Structure 1
Amino acid sequence: MASNGVGMQSRVERVFIGAGCNRIVNNVSWGACDLVSFGAQNAVAIFCPKTAQIITTLPGHKAYVNCTHWLPSNKFAFKAKNLERHYLLSGDADGAIFLWEFSLVDKKWRNVLQVPEPHKKGVTCISAIIVSHSDAMFVSTSSDGAVNVWEVILPSSSGGECKLSCLDSIFVGRKPMVTLSLVELPGNYGHLALAMGGLDNKIHIYIGERRGKFARACELKGHTDWIRSLDFSFPIYASNETSSLLLVSSSQDKGIRIWKMVLHDSVSNDETSLASYIKGPIFSAGSFSYQISLESLLIGHEDWVYSVEWQPPQSLSVDGDQWYQPQSILSASMDKTMMIWQPEKTSGIWMNVVTVGELSHCALGFYGGHWSPNGDSILAHGYGGSFHLWRNVGIDFDDWKTQKVPSGHFAAVSDISWGRGGEYLLSVSHDQTTRIFSPWCNESSLEDREAWHEIARPQVHGHDINCVTIIKGKGNHRFVSGAEEKVARVFEAPLSFLKTLNHATLNKSGLADELPVNVQILGANMSALGLSQKPIYAQAASPESNERNNNEGLDTFETIPEAVPVELTEPPIEEQLSWHTLWPESHKLYGHGNELFSVCCDHEGKLVASSCKAQSASVAEIWLWLVGSWKSVGRLHSHSLTVTQLEFSHDNTFLLAVSRDRHFSVFAIKHSGQDEISHKLVIKQEAHKRIIWTCSWNPFGHEFATGSRDKTVKIWEVENESSVKLLTTLPTFKSSVTALSWLGIDRQKNSGLLAVGMESGLIELWSLYNTKIENKSSTVEPNASPFVRFDPFLCHVSAVHRLKWRKAKKSEEDSTSMELASCGDDHCVRIFQVDI
């Protein structure tokens, strides 16, 4: 709760986070607590597979998060049944490694420590083992050629200190390692084996003691390209031999190899084993000797195999003392498939028993695959920042079905816009996609509130998209987007989306009443170059014309799969989103001389204004477009550099523009005829000492706010349609102000909330209200006071690009609940609920 100084109380809650996964190997980890961690730009994001929702992001890293690893991971789930606290390691592109604590009791996170001696370059892999309830070890490798071994003593109580000590640092030379696996040697207490693989195509085995140094034991040769993934199994107890360890490796040579490590004395006892024919290297660990030999070579993938992982051991007892290691390996490849490999019961030959995914050219493949702790689900993360989850729902036989997962952008999110009735949120990003997020009302969520999901991807483009606006007013849903090209594009909702939205909102928005009866377009198809999207009509074309469209069946680089737009009755998965939820492009708006930068629509849906990147006054002009005919009806000249944001006043009489040239401009806009617009510059004024990034109008009047790189927010008022007066300047913020959004609360008191987003990712709400001074009825004294500062764990971890309020809804008798949407550089779209 927070007080704003005028007796108002507030509560801020997280409603939704949408984010994609950093496109890098080793980025994802599935923990024993059944949560999945991944890097989203500089944030560590945590999602719950059961609800398909991202539940939080962890701030702290100053660079891209390259890898995450749970303590305990899914591999140690059988030992972690009674743990109250789980830990998470995360490494970034600057070489920093953080340790986080997650309390299962109160669901709270805290940053426990940062590893004191960071790597000199980016961390590429972290591998860890749990030695006991209070003792863990982890190994990290980096592009700097170093492999560091650490011991962590975990605290016995919540909030206690973790003790960290560096056991060893191994320098591997100019060809760095990119994958690691650490294991305790069976029957040899206190001795560990460390497998490393990387750019020299060999697997290096090191042997060390629990608190001692590691020494090179042997090299395993066989792969002909980079080693991408290594994973030790838990000891496997066979009836005719003492326990053995299996190591699985995968490579860019498309092959997977299984290596068997056994006590040297036990090799001679089994003359018929494969190991007796293909003898591998022998090494010593303490008083024991081990031999490693190639057990099996698995061929099946058609591209680089980026990850291999043993199915986690399953517990046979409540306390985890008894367990067994399933003979099952999951592999994930750039051929966009995951495979499960198991030995055949009779011959023992390893076979591919399950294949999921698709061998297709529509996207590059998978960077990694992971088992759920109980082994009934498998998760892949792909090139498009996307997750793909399959669950085995079969009882007597395997039946792997796709499941819902969180989704989001995998690059900076540049702009957002609420649907006309606030029923969905539209976002655009430098990942070249436009996405629609909506609460799916008929879904039985495990939480009290509605569960938000991505329900459509209207635009998949060939350029980074910078700005978007929803066309307000009646009629079909439309939006205008501007990308790093000189053309603005207009999109109109197809019939398949309108029906899907009906399912998602359960007609709560009254959408059924306004379903246009004349929508003939069912969906859209992508063009070969990914620039324009062509309509698919509800009346299907004849088969003959379809054959002609498909280039008579020739498979060339210019052919793309046909989209199949359908009415969705549950939240779609990635494969549906990427192809089958496109909107047709209805118009292109030509005129600007450079890439589009900002676009906005008036509040009646009659006029759209747009601007582009500019370094001269002639290019920095603002264009006005008439909605419907899409004629250019005005070119407004005022600024000399890029206009960074445009916004119409709520009565549509003024257009406000702010620019890199540190000035703002206010234009008076009048509809003089049916298709005619008159405009004049009311005032242009230098307002800040640095770039003005953002602006927002008061919904109740002609006051507006401007925010700048000079860390200030200023409140202005348009007087008599001829001049502008500075009302107040808020106290200087700690970071550049990059986003503003003004919400009206009480028209009589002219009170409202101003949301302020900063380059640091933090968000604050300021209460703005006016009081009439006695004897001077015309004078208004503005008052501004801090209302609430969002918890950093709720906020973005890098620059906020846009903030947008959604219409208020009464939740209880005395309180009003508002929703604030934000987007930023950290690839995230966030929605907050603010109760006053």
Structure 2
Amino acid sequence: MSNGGPEVGRVFIGAGCNRIVNNVSWGACGLVAFGAQNAVAIFCPETAQILTTIPGHKASVTCTYWLPSAKFAFKAKHLERHFLLSGDAEGVIILWELSLLDKQWRYVLQVPQSHKKGVTCIAGFMISETDAVFASTSSDSSVYVWELALPSSSGGDCNLSCLDTLSVGPKPMVTLSIAELPGTTGHFLLAMGGLDNKIHLFCGERTGKFVRACELKGHNDWIRSLDFSLPVCTNGEMSNLLLVSSSQDRSIRIWKITPHNSLANSRRREDISLTSYIEGPIFVVGSFSYQISLESLLIGHEDWVYSVEWQPPLVSAEGVECHQRQSILSASMDKTMMIWQPERTTGIWMNVVTVGELSHCALGFYGGHWSSSGDAILAHGYGGSFHLWRNVGVDADNWQPQKVPSGHIAAVADIAWAKSGEYLLSVSHDQTTRIFAPWLSEPHLETLDTWHEIARPQVHGHDINCVAIIQGKGNHRFVSGAEEKVARVFEAPLSFLKTLNHAALHKSTFPEDMQADVQILGANMSALGLSQKPIYVQAAHEPTVRNSNEGVDTLETIPDAVPVELTEPPIEEQLAWHTLWPESHKLYGHGNELFSLCCDHKGELVASSCKAQSVSVAEIWLWQVGSWKAIGRLQSHSLTVTQMEFSHDDNFLLAVSRDRHFSVFSIKQTGADKISYQLLARQEAHKRIIWACSWNPFGHEFATCSRDKTVKIWAVEKSSSVKQLMTLPQFHNSVTAISWLGLDLSSNAGCLAVGLENGLIELWSLSVVRTEDGSLAATGPSTAALLVRLDPFMCHVSTVHRLAWRNRVQSTASGSMQLASCGADNSVRVFEVRFD
């Protein structure tokens, strides 16, 4: 950060979870880590906010693992630093350090021996506060076992040594678990399972190699998850060890590992129980031998069981003893998580809690995790969403859904602020449009508002490329363009307007007396997911029959949406189904899929462009807001127009294109529904594709940015010609997004936000000197200077797609502005910039 520059703070990050098993880990520190595209994201379950994203991986993050994890929270009471392992799709594993005192992250090391293919699972065991053993497995069929000595002082070195490299054959292992064998010191048991339907057990010491102990057969499909308990205490002795396994055969098995000698002594000849018929293999470790038997078979899920996890141990008040609780959490593709416990009288394992079964939108769970205290459970789903339940019961269990962070699960293509900045709208290649807004916790405390996703107005059948919010008076409306030749217009329903009044500190710009005119309560999804049909206020209370063929399962048997006024931030189940906006118009005319959209500041015109490789297809269409007639077709470019923007007095329309040219059109209103337009200037501006453009809010200057790593400033002169004012110093990466903020009208000073292909963001001060008649001054040239480079831990980890300053009406404090950004790393971000 340069001296004297503005202060930049992180306000909000919205991002979804990579759709992959083993991607989420809940640490003893209370934080959850997950992979969001190439970044490792960290979120706090208490506040439902993503705290930071950690850059460093060059490929998609596939798994994370905390040291210590929630299971070993009892060994982490006095730790000031926690560590996190993250693996990616190229086989790289990185170790990070989190200092709890200052909440700072530090890159520690990259595990030297990378896997040849993507990492599928990391599992660890905390021996002590400073010693850990962990193993990793990959699609390359190898398993590496490592010993890690953590530093005892801040900033100290971590010592990593490879204990062994294992391979069990051509079929990869996809899940691992490590335990210390009871009765021995320093002997570890490593369980691995995968595509050969068997559980492979290996024994090893901290000093030497791991040797094959035995195989466990029983599952008849891929093994998806394994988890060792801590040793179970019986009669005061730490004797038995339990292993739980789950599979795509929909079953869960609990295996008991018992020291063999004690088993033989305790059983008399006449004591023939069921276990004697299902005795498993015996293996020897040093001077000890152990027998494995199948303890229980749990059947209840109706689809693949992706994860099983023991409830973290109960620690005594003194923190000395810990007791392994007999409770297992399972998560399945049947859209449920279950908690299993043995009955007190019979010892038979039963399903005691089921959550998630009503979420018809979740499309199944990829994994489930306990909090370290065991009073909360978290699932992550196929849609990249989180689902959190907390046990709020006092005498009896009462699991209630909680708020969680949410966001897109594919590249975010475009963002737009609401007319007065009350919320931020984003569109993505995950085929959704989402609305994020600050939700005020306490009306009298302005500092406590946290951001949440408050609506998902469009769920579409195509990747969405662009969006524009209709300015001007009246209801909230937006136009979106996707990988289809149609632009679609959406209008806010009554349920959203009422929800917005609960969320916003400043009441919505659409007052309640005008809301009475809105007759649409919400919207229903059509069968093919392409258009959204309105639900009218008066019809909302009448029972509807969507399908005359009762009991026949067809495309039309989709549950009806129930749009309601929300008084607190919604959870995933509400967002995905009940917050849709009705589609009011379709705009036909373009020859290819839509690529960019913009609206003028009066809310009278919308301009649209599509992907193009010829002059006729690359034309810009102008639409009249309200009648939605096409009233102009502007020709200038020969390739795709990548971005357009109206000048702040709406006299000019600026367009930039892949053909390396920009165009400036004059736009004049000549009648009620007629306009005249004229091409003022067309100029080759850069050596490579021009990605974005932005007007000076105080004048007729504009900026363009390009793949050629440059940003240029231009001005429209009185003679209607365009003159180049300056070129900013060359950047190290392609410049993919810019947004110009006006700071001082009298001096024509502004701040230009610049987004780069590597995800970083910079702020530049701009000063453009003009004479009184508006022409460019001959003396006193325009100047630009770097104000601040944002901290990489704040920025995106992939290409920045769009930057947008929040409207001044909603600036949070004097001298403070908010900047929104979106990128290819699936995230939407909001920063607070405080100018001196």
Matched residues in 2 for 1:425 and 1:768: separation? 26
The answer to whether the 8 Å contact 2:422/2:810 transfers is no
* 1:357 paired residue number: 356
The answer to whether the 8 Å contact 1:2/1:11 transfers is no
Structure 1 window deviating more from structure 2 (343-352 vs 534-543): it is 534-543
* 2:174 paired residue number: 178
Aligned residue runs from structure 1 range 41-56, under 5 A: 41-56=37-52
TM-superposed CA distance for 1:617, in Å, is: 1.3
TM-superposed CA distance for 1:547, in Å, is: 2.5
Q: 1:273 to 1:747 in 2, by over 3 A?
A: farther
Does the alignment pair 1:233 with 2:229? yes
SS of 1:398's equivalent in the other structure is: coil
* 1:413 paired residue number: 412
SS of 1:78's equivalent in the other structure is: helix
Matched residues in 1 for 2:103 and 2:723: separation? 49
* 1:11 paired residue number: 7
* 2:709 paired residue number: 711
TM-superposed CA distance for 1:443, in Å, is: 5.2
Q: 1:282 to 1:469 in 2, by over 3 A?
A: same
Aligned residue runs from structure 1 range 138-537, under 5 A: 138-239=134-235, 243-268=239-264, 269-270=266-267, 271-318=271-318, 320-358=319-357, 361-442=360-441, 448-509=447-508, 511-512=510-511, 515-537=514-536
TM-superposed CA distance for 1:2, in Å, is: 3.4
Matched residues in 2 for 1:241 and 1:673: separation? 91
Matched residues in 1 for 2:630 and 2:373: separation? 60
After superposition, give the CA deviation of every residue in 1:54-88 in whole Å (9 maximum; x if it has no partner). Answer: 00000000000000000000000011111000000
Matched residues in 2 for 1:182 and 1:450: separation? 42
Matched residues in 2 for 1:686 and 1:550: separation? 60
TM-superposed CA distance for 1:811, in Å, is: 8.2
Structure 1 window deviating more from structure 2 (292-301 vs 268-277): it is 268-277
**What is the one-letter code of the residue matched to 1:155?**
P
Q: 1:275 to 1:401 in 2, by over 3 A?
A: same
**What is the one-letter code of the residue matched to 2:226?**
L
Matched residues in 2 for 1:331 and 1:678: separation? 65
Matched residues in 2 for 1:123 and 1:88: separation? 15
TM-superposed CA distance for 1:781, in Å, is: 1.2
The answer to whether the 8 Å contact 1:317/1:323 transfers is no
* 2:627 paired residue number: 629
Matched residues in 2 for 1:14 and 1:682: separation? 41
* 1:555 paired residue number: 553
**What is the one-letter code of the residue matched to 2:608?**
S
**What is the one-letter code of the residue matched to 2:685?**
A
Q: 1:446 to 1:87 in 2, by over 3 A?
A: farther
Aligned residue runs from structure 1 range 653-664, under 5 A: 653-664=651-662
The answer to whether the 8 Å contact 1:772/1:781 transfers is no
The answer to whether the 8 Å contact 2:417/2:807 transfers is no
Does the alignment pair 1:579 with 2:568? no
Please, which runs of 5 or more residues in structure 1 have no aligned partner?
Answer: none
The answer to whether the 8 Å contact 2:248/2:304 transfers is yes
Matched residues in 1 for 2:314 and 2:719: separation? 74
Aligned residue runs from structure 1 range 569-648, under 5 A: 569-648=567-646
Matched residues in 2 for 1:811 and 1:555: separation? 51
Q: 1:780 to 1:709 in 2, by over 3 A?
A: same
**What is the one-letter code of the residue matched to 2:346?**
S
Does the alignment pair 1:740 with 2:738? yes
Q: 1:516 to 1:831 in 2, by over 3 A?
A: same
TM-superposed CA distance for 1:266, in Å, is: 2.0
After superposition, give the CA deviation of every residue in 1:806-836 in whole Å (9 maximum; x if it has no partner). Answer: 13479899x5000000000111100000001
SS of 2:545's equivalent in the other structure is: helix
After superposition, give the CA deviation of every residue in 1:90-123 in whole Å (9 maximum; x if it has no partner). Answer: 0000101010000001110011111111111000
The answer to whether the 8 Å contact 2:225/2:247 transfers is yes
The answer to whether the 8 Å contact 2:254/2:294 transfers is yes
Aligned residue runs from structure 1 range 782-821, under 5 A: 782-808=782-808, 816-821=815-820
**What is the one-letter code of the residue matched to 1:42?**
N
* 1:769 paired residue number: 767
* 1:25 paired residue number: 21
Q: 1:776 to 1:825 in 2, by over 3 A?
A: closer
The answer to whether the 8 Å contact 2:391/2:399 transfers is yes
The answer to whether the 8 Å contact 1:690/1:710 transfers is yes
Does the alignment pair 1:66 with 2:65? no
Which residue of 663, 666, 673 maps to 2:664? Answer: 666
After superposition, give the CA deviation of every residue in 1:213-238 in whole Å (9 maximum; x if it has no partner). Answer: 11111000000100000000000012
The answer to whether the 8 Å contact 1:335/1:359 transfers is no
Matched residues in 2 for 1:588 and 1:539: separation? 25
The answer to whether the 8 Å contact 1:772/1:779 transfers is no
Matched residues in 1 for 2:509 and 2:665: separation? 35
**What is the one-letter code of the residue matched to 2:723?**
K
Report the TM-score, using the length of structure 1 for normalisation: 0.97
Matched residues in 2 for 1:338 and 1:447: separation? 38
Matched residues in 1 for 2:549 and 2:824: separation? 41
**What is the one-letter code of the residue matched to 1:802?**
R
Matched residues in 2 for 1:242 and 1:83: separation? 26
Structure 1 window deviating more from structure 2 (147-156 vs 63-72): it is 147-156
Matched residues in 1 for 2:225 and 2:762: separation? 43
Matched residues in 2 for 1:467 and 1:166: separation? 49
**What is the one-letter code of the residue matched to 1:367?**
Y
The answer to whether the 8 Å contact 1:682/1:721 transfers is no
**What is the one-letter code of the residue matched to 1:27?**
N
TM-superposed CA distance for 1:252, in Å, is: 0.4
After superposition, give the CA deviation of every residue in 1:743-802 in whole Å (9 maximum; x if it has no partner). Answer: 000011000000000110000000001346999955551100000000000000000000
TM-superposed CA distance for 1:187, in Å, is: 1.6
The answer to whether the 8 Å contact 1:242/1:266 transfers is no
Q: 1:333 to 1:620 in 2, by over 3 A?
A: same
TM-superposed CA distance for 1:360, in Å, is: 5.9
Structure 1 window deviating more from structure 2 (113-122 vs 302-311): it is 113-122
What is the RMSD computed on CA atoms of the aligned residues?
A: 1.9
Matched residues in 2 for 1:514 and 1:446: separation? 27
Q: 1:560 to 1:447 in 2, by over 3 A?
A: same
Q: 1:415 to 1:812 in 2, by over 3 A?
A: closer
Q: 1:773 to 1:427 in 2, by over 3 A?
A: closer
Matched residues in 2 for 1:47 and 1:112: separation? 20
SS of 1:2's equivalent in the other structure is: coil
Q: 1:242 to 1:738 in 2, by over 3 A?
A: closer
The answer to whether the 8 Å contact 1:773/1:780 transfers is no
The answer to whether the 8 Å contact 2:811/2:818 transfers is no
- Aligned residues, how many? 829
SS of 2:580's equivalent in the other structure is: coil
TM-superposed CA distance for 1:168, in Å, is: 0.7
Does the alignment pair 1:754 with 2:752? yes
After superposition, give the CA deviation of every residue in 1:441-485 in whole Å (9 maximum; x if it has no partner). Answer: 135999944100000000000001000010000000000000010
The answer to whether the 8 Å contact 2:500/2:508 transfers is no
Matched residues in 2 for 1:300 and 1:750: separation? 68
After superposition, give the CA deviation of every residue in 1:585-638 in whole Å (9 maximum; x if it has no partner). Answer: 000000011110000000110000001111111111111000000000011111
The answer to whether the 8 Å contact 2:180/2:186 transfers is yes
The answer to whether the 8 Å contact 1:613/1:641 transfers is yes
